[in-house]
């Protein structure tokens, strides 16, 4: 019996050792065309929106990109990919501090005439649903298409301090979200349904006249109240 227990423990240890390390790609993923957007060590491939460098609020610690709100305000701004993406599958993991708020914004048209990423790009909400100030509207909860669609029936984030898994697919304007394996949105950018959602949201205001007009652009991790962490950021073209 003791030998069986020992062998079982060794097998479990061996399996753990063989588990995929964060911020790496398997051979299968590489063959499928996946590309890491974060190498686990640097912010190479990223910059602060409308700048050439990465602000000091964004740091790499223990294999994660960390937004540190305690750093000087001058080091802030959303963190944006250098490259633009059109038809893609994006996967990543995030965790948020107590009361924290952030977002994954995409299809961003980076141009000085747009002072913020969210003026052109839709967002998957990142939130501490329990304690964040922005938890009053259903479509502002974690995993939702921010201010457009989603509610508590699909918003199932893990507790503060635990990693959450995101999958975003955009293909010819068709957009699908998953948070922790639960589908939180499925729809077509520019469709009648989409336009109705926009008309009933804050994005109907004049300032957002170019919101979601192009289903291609850069991807951002949003600066917002609280600390956020990000890892295993990977993308593949479709």
Domain 22-237 has CATH 2.60.120.560: yes
pLDDT, residue 184, reads: 98
Q: What is the pLDDT of residues 141-184, one digit of tens each?
A: 999 999 999 999 999 999 999 999 999 999 999 999 999 999 99
pLDDT band at 225 (very low <50, low <70, confident <90, very high): confident
What's CA 104's distance to the chain center, in Å?
Answer: 4
d(CA 72, CA 10): 48
Tell me 2's DSSP state. H
Find out whether 214 and 48 touch, Cβ atoms under 8 Å: no
Return the percentage of the chain with pLDDT > 70, whole number.
92
211 pLDDT more than 90: yes
Q: What pLDDT score was predicted for residue 15?
A: 44
What is this structure's pTM? Answer: 0.91
Domain spans in the chain, listed from the N-terminal domain onward: 22-237
Please tell me which residue, 214 or 17, carries the higher pLDDT value.
214
Tokens 């990543």 found at: 92
Measured torsion, CA atoms of residues 82, 66, 78, 142, in degrees rounded to the nearest 10:
110
Q: Residue 208: pLDDT above 50? A: yes
In this model, does residue 16 exceed pLDDT 50?
A: no
Q: Is residue 20 very low, low, confident or very high in pLDDT (cuts 50, 70, 90)?
A: confident
| Contacts for 134 with CB less than 8 Å, ≥ 6 apart | 101, 127, 140
The strand pairing partners of 223, in sequence order, are none
């Amino acid at each position: 019996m003791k030998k069986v227990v020992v062998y079982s423990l060794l097998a479990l240890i061996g399996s753990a050792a063989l588990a995929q390390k964060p911020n790496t790609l398997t051979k299968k993923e590489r063959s499928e065309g996946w590309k890491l957007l974060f190498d686990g060590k640097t912010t190479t491939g990223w910059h602060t929106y409308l700048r050439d460098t990465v602000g000091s609020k964004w740091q790499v610690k223990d294999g994660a990109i960390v937004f540190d709100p305690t750093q000087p305000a001058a080091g802030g701004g959303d963190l944006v990919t250098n490259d633009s993406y059109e038809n893609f599958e994006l996967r990543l993991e995030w965790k948020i501090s107590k009361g924290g708020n952030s977002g994954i914004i995409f299809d961003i048209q980076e141009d000085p005439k747009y002072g913020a990423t969210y003026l052109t790009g839709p967002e998957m909400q990142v939130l501490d649903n329990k304690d964040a100030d922005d938890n009053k509207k259903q479509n502002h909860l974690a995993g939702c298409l921010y201010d457009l669609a989603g509610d508590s029936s699909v918003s199932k984030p893990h507790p503060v301090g635990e990693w959450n898994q995101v999958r975003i697919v955009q293909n010819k304007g068709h957009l699908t979200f998953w948070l922790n394996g639960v589908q939180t949105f499925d729809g077509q950018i520019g469709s009648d349904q989409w336009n109705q959602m926009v008309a009933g949201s804050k994005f109907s205001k004049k300032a957002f006249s170019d919101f979601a007009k192009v289903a291609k652009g850069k991807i951002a991790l949003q600066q917002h109240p609280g600390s956020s962490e990000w890892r295993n950021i990977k993308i593949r073209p479709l």
